[in-house]
Amino acid sequence: MNLPVEYVLPKYQEALYKAAWAILQDPADCQDAVQLCFIKYHQQQGDFRDEDHIRKWLFRTVMNQARDIRRAFWRKSRTTLDESYMAPQPAAGRGQALFEAVSALPATYRIVLQLYYYEDFSVREISEITGLSESAVKKRLSRGRSLLRQQMKGDCQS
Amino acid sequence: MTQEQKEKEAYRQAFASVRIPHPIDPGEIIRDRKTTKMKWYHKYAAALSAAMILLGSAGVAYAADLGGLRTTVTVWLNGKAREMEAEATPDGYRFSDPADGDTAVVSGGVAIGEDGSMRRATLDEAAEALSMEVWTDEAGRTWLGDREKKWDITDLFDDQGLAHGSYEGRYYDIERHPDDDGFSISASDTPAQGTAYRALGIPN
């Protein structure tokens, strides 16, 4: 099966943007990653099992696009050209503290945390999306949560 | 609510403010499929436009690789060819005229292929992109320039800000970006499938 981009794009673009954010933390680059992901989706004639299969494909693709952008030679030296690409303003208080704590983590942990906490993917699904082994996902998840809790000084547990 | 559910809820609230700045229109993706033969993505095309201003005019460079880091190219300026040296920089290409020291820097050039993958633009592609420019004059007319030719394309734009024109086997796709008051341009020797091109006519 395949679903039209007119259906898939509005439904998933915000979630994919957040996933790209876990890697890039730059509004314009994340926007590019999402756009390229959907271009790829529209161009390929994939035969998906169901919508869940499409969802995982989209997350895997947007992360690959985000990694490509992060590696790209021009990213280091480019400047922001469009002032409309503003960084997010998290809510004040605990939400802001958590946002800042996650943002300070290495990207390897942020990706796994994002997929697990925000998208509700299982360890096996995260393994499928990221290409990591399930044990590696568990380790990163455990280590990421540990680092997060340290940074939050127990705020998340209260 | 379990501890894990609490953590997930807190996480979701913390990241609720991370929202896509410009929600993508599905029509934009569908159009891109038709026009991404070798498109200069608009964010980087904007950087290129800035570099073109430094050149003073649209120009085109034909590479004659000398085998070293520096390459001699012929650049069109105001309808006249001029020799410039081109060299790769970490983020693009630098064109300079050894005669008078004029320099143009093309940075951030990235080409997007048919499958959506990105790669660094080649010197030829950077030169080709340099050859093209779209601008609006004081009278409000919009012009497409390519090498020594230019056409008034004001009336070619549709409601979605797209214009498609052709001239002697060269097909141009232009998109207006109201957000940054700029344009992206791509050109190809083959027309995009399903796209109607209007003849540009005799250049000015």
Pick from B192, B183, B186: nearest CA to B43: B183
pLDDT of B128: 66
Confidence of residue B51 (pLDDT cuts 50, 70, 90): very low
pLDDT of B181: 61
pLDDT at B107 over 60: no
The string of DSSP codes covering B6-24 is HHHHHHHHHTTT---SSPP
Contact between A43 and B114 using a beta-carbon 8 Å cutoff: yes
pLDDT of B175: 78
Distance between A9 CA and the closest CA of chain B, angstroms: 6
Please name the member of A9, A98, A145 whose beta carbon is closest to the beta carbon of B24. A9
Q: What is the mean pLDDT of residues B155-181?
A: 82
DSSP 8-state secondary structure symbol assigned to residue B71: E
Pick from B111, B37, B202: nearest CA to A43: B37
Please name the member of B7, B20, B91 whose beta carbon is closest to the beta carbon of A74. B91
End-to-end CA distance of chain B: 72
Please name the member of A10, A37, A156 whose beta carbon is closest to the beta carbon of B10. A156
Residues contacting B9, CB < 8 A, separation 6+: B1
Report the distance separating Cα A86 and Cα A156, nearest Å. Answer: 27
pLDDT of B199: 93
Report the distance separating Cα A109 and Cα A18, nearest Å. Answer: 14
Ranges A42-51, B86-95, B133-142, B194-203: which has the least confidence:
B86-95
pLDDT of A157: 46
Q: Which two tokens stand for residue B4?
A: 């894990």
pLDDT at B32 over 60: no
Residues of chain A with pLDDT under 70: 45, 71-92, 153-158
Q: Which two tokens stand for residue B85?
A: 């040296």
Whole-model pTM: value is 0.53
pLDDT at B161 over 60: yes
pLDDT of B134: 79
Contact between B46 and A96 using a beta-carbon 8 Å cutoff: no
Residues contacting A38, CB < 8 A, separation 6+: A5, A8, A9, A13, B24, B29
Which residue would you say has higher pLDDT here, B155 or B194?
B155
pLDDT of A8: 93
Report the distance separating Cα B169 and Cα B162, nearest Å. Answer: 19
pLDDT of A126: 92
Assign 3-class secondary structure to A92-119: CCHHHHHHHHHHCCCHHHHHHHHHHHHC
Distance between B202 CA and the closest CA of chain A, angstroms: 35
Q: Which two tokens stand for residue A65?
A: 């696009």
Please name the member of B8, B21, B118 whose beta carbon is closest to the beta carbon of A27. B21
Q: Which strands sit side by side in the sheet containing B70-77, from one edge to the other?
A: B61-64, B70-77, B80-89, B92-96, B103-107
Residue of B nearest to A93 (CA): B14
Q: Please classify residue B182 by burial: count the beta carbons closer than 10 Å to its beta carbon, then call 0-12 exposed, 13-18 middle and 19+ buried.
A: buried
Residue of A nearest to B36 (CA): A39
Contact between B17 and A73 using a beta-carbon 8 Å cutoff: no
Contacts with B29 from chain A: Cβ below 8 Å:
5, 9, 35, 38-39, 42
pLDDT of B80: 58
pLDDT digits (tens, 9 = 90+) for B175-191: 776 665 667 777 777 77
pLDDT of A125: 93
Pick from B127, B128, B112: nearest CA to B43: B112
Confidence of residue B105 (pLDDT cuts 50, 70, 90): low
Distance between B80 CA and the closest CA of chain A, angstroms: 31
Contact between A42 and B29 using a beta-carbon 8 Å cutoff: yes
pLDDT at B4 over 70: yes
Any A CB within 8 A of B121 CB: no
pLDDT of B70: 63
Q: What is the mean pLDDT of residues B9-36?
A: 74
